[in-house]
């Protein structure tokens, strides 16, 4: 089992430089905790400050080491040639493996703001991913349905193959992840029962396509307290606020030993990677949780 982190990209700050500094500090803390991977997310036309993934990841790489790194990209919202170029450049900066997490995007306002017909997003996703993988392989591509691309090539090419994880939950999307990608990323808000159901369906789809995934990952929003009482109090506050509409089971708040036990249970189910995200918006508290992940790793002998 590997423990990685997705650095929160949204911050309610008056000075935009402060949110960027928070992200850099969290990346540095993740390296000091010897976490196994570093990611950032993807959203657009947001009402509150949301720091864009490609430039922020480029800066955070200065704080990272040679373990895997990557970002989530909502593929229908991006021009595939531009994105293939940006990821190839990020992969050239990163000393280790680059992982592209990707998904469809589900917010109508976001798609409208980016000029994308949300009804076309599944077809756009598949077309985009195919084009990008061909571009990274050094091919010349053409596409006339969505982007009117003529004789496009990119350089530099990635020195290592770009690994692709697809975030998926619906049956068709799980099937697509098994068919087109190296790994699957489960959504963070799932209950234990939902996680098990989707994992079983993904495994069945992998068997159907004779695919052996390189990663079976899940994201979990977490808080690690100094003790269980502090964690229980925090978790109850999150439940009372209806945290992101998540199942209570998906809100992972505990002391080091409790969190380690939850991670071990996910590994027992078959997850190879747990990608955490801070629940607390307070920077001091978020950094403390990241630091305690090093203790979680020790408990798990990782």
Please tell me the distance from the alpha carbon of residue 215 to that of residue 27, in angstroms, as a whole number: 22
Cα angle for residues 79, 185, 254 (degrees, 5° grid): 130
Tell me the pLDDT band of 106, cut-offs 50, 70 and 90. confident
**Do 204 and 174 meet the contact criterion of CB atoms below 8 Å apart?**
no
Q: What is the pLDDT of residues 136-166, one digit of tens each?
A: 999 999 999 999 999 999 999 999 999 999 9
Contacts 24+ apart (CB under 8 A), 255-262: 255/224, 255/225, 255/226, 255/227, 255/228, 255/230, 255/231, 256/224, 256/292, 256/295, 256/296, 256/299, 257/299, 258/228, 258/231, 259/222, 259/224, 259/292, 259/296, 260/296, 260/299, 260/300, 262/220
Cis amide prior to 156 (ω within 30 degrees): yes
- Mean per-residue pLDDT for 239-252? 88
Whether the pLDDT of residue 284 is over 90: the answer is yes
What is the C-alpha to C-alpha distance for residues 46 and 54, in angstroms, rounded to an integer? 16
Rg over CA atoms, the chain: 19
Residue 247: per-residue pLDDT: 83
**β-pair type (149-152, 141-143):** antiparallel
Q: How far apart are the first and last CA of the chain?
A: 8
**Predicted confidence (pLDDT) at residue 249 exceeds the cutoff of 90:** no
Nearest-10 Cα torsion for 22, 74, 177, 128? -140
Residue with tokens 């998540």: 246
Report the distance separating Cα 8 and Cα 22, nearest Å: 9
- State residue 117's pLDDT score: 94
CATH class name, domain 2-214: alpha beta
270 φψ region: left (φ > 0), alpha (ψ -120 to 50), beta (else):
left
Average pLDDT over all residues of the chain: 96
Contacts of 199 (CB under 8 A, 6+ apart): 186, 216, 269, 270, 271
Contact 7, 23 (CB under 8 A): yes
pLDDT at 83 exceeding the cut of 90: yes
Note the pLDDT of residue 205: 96
Q: What is the pTM of this model?
A: 0.95
* 175-221: pLDDT as tens digits: 999 999 999 999 999 988 999 999 999 999 999 999 999 999 999 99
Residue 8 pLDDT more than 90? yes
| pLDDT value of position 244 | 87
Confidence tier at 248 by pLDDT (50, 70, 90): confident
**Contact present, 30 and 67 (Cβ < 8 Å):** no
Q: Which of 299, 288, 290 is nearest to 230 (CA)?
A: 288
The region of weakest confidence among 96-105, 233-242, 271-280 is 233-242
Convert the pLDDT of each residue in 14-61 to its tens digit.
999 999 999 999 999 999 999 999 999 999 999 889 999 999 999 999
pLDDT tens sequence across 13-25: 999 999 999 999 9
- Rounded to an integer, the average pLDDT of 272-286 is 97
Share of the chain above pLDDT 70, in %: 100
């Amino acid at each position: 089992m590997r423990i990685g982190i997705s650095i929160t990209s949204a911050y309610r700050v008056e000075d935009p430089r402060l949110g960027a500094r928070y992200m850099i500090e969290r990346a540095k803390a993740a390296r000091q905790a010897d976490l196994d991977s570093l990611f950032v997310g993807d959203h657009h036309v947001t009402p509150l400050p949301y720091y864009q993934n490609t430039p922020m990841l480029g800066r955070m790489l200065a704080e990272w080491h040679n373990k895997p790194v990557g970002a989530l990209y909502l593929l229908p919202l991006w021009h595939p040639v531009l994105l293939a170029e940006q990821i190839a450049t990020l992969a050239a900066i990163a000393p280790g493996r680059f992982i592209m997490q990707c998904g469809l995007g589900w917010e109508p306002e976001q798609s409208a703001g980016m000029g994308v017909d949300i009804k076309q997003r599944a077809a756009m996703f598949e077309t985009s991913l195919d084009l990008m993988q061909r571009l990274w392989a050094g091919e010349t591509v053409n596409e006339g349905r969505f982007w009117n691309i003529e004789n496009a090539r990119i350089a530099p090419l990635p020195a290592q193959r770009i690994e692709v994880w697809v975030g998926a939950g619906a049956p068709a999307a799980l099937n697509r992840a098994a068919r087109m990608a190296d790994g699957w990323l489960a959504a963070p808000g799932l209950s234990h029962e939902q996680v098990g159901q989707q994992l079983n369906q993904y495994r069945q789809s992998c068997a159907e396509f004779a695919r052996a995934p390189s990663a079976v990952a899940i994201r979990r929003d977490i808080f690690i307290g100094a003790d269980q009482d502090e964690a229980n109090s925090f978790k109850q506050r999150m439940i009372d606020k209806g945290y992101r509409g998540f199942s209570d089971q998906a809100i992972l708040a505990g002391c080091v030993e409790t969190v380690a036990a939850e991670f071990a249970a996910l590994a027992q189910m078959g997850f190879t990677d747990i990608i955490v995200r801070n629940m607390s918006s307070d920077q001091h508290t978020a950094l403390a949780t990241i630091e305690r992940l090093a203790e979680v790793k020790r408990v798990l002998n990782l």
